[in-house]
Amino acid sequence: MHATREKLPHRIFVLYANRRPEDAAFLAELDALQKENPRFKLIATMTGMANSALKWNGEASHIDKKMLVKHLSDLLSPVYYVTGPPGMVAAMRRTLNDAGVDDDDIRSEEFSGY
């Protein structure tokens, strides 16, 4: 990640939702970044652990306002980047708006077909 290589001062929080750890692309790499860069925080959540063969000790619910408040000290100062399937992007935008985040502070990219 560029911010880690260049030792940028930016605080980066990645909220990463998947059904199961075995479905989570790049989970190990994101976890390694967190260990390498003290300004990078991975908040991974698995919403379908009942169907997983792996153990998970992290978050296990959908990303909502409660989770945002738990992990971010100031919801209104960051710029949020939301990527994923169109329905998830729309739901996350509503969640952020409901938490008081202005649309001007949300960037999004939708992708489908997987």
Tell me which CATH code domain 2-110 carries.
Answer: 3.40.50.80
Kindly report, residue by residue over 60-110, the tens digit of the pLDDT.
Answer: 999 999 999 999 988 888 899 999 999 999 999 999 999 999 999 999 999
Q: Can you tell me the distance from the alpha carbon of 46 to that of 59, in angstroms, rounded to the nearest whole number?
A: 6
Q: Can you tell me the distance from the alpha carbon of 26 to that of 31, in angstroms, rounded to the nearest whole number?
A: 9
Kindly report, residue by residue over 20-53, the tens digit of the pLDDT.
Answer: 999 999 999 999 999 999 999 999 999 999 999 9
Cβ atoms of residues 45 and 59 within 8 Å: yes
Q: Can you tell me the distance from the alpha carbon of 53 to that of 89, in angstroms, rounded to the nearest whole number?
A: 28
pTM, full prediction: 0.85
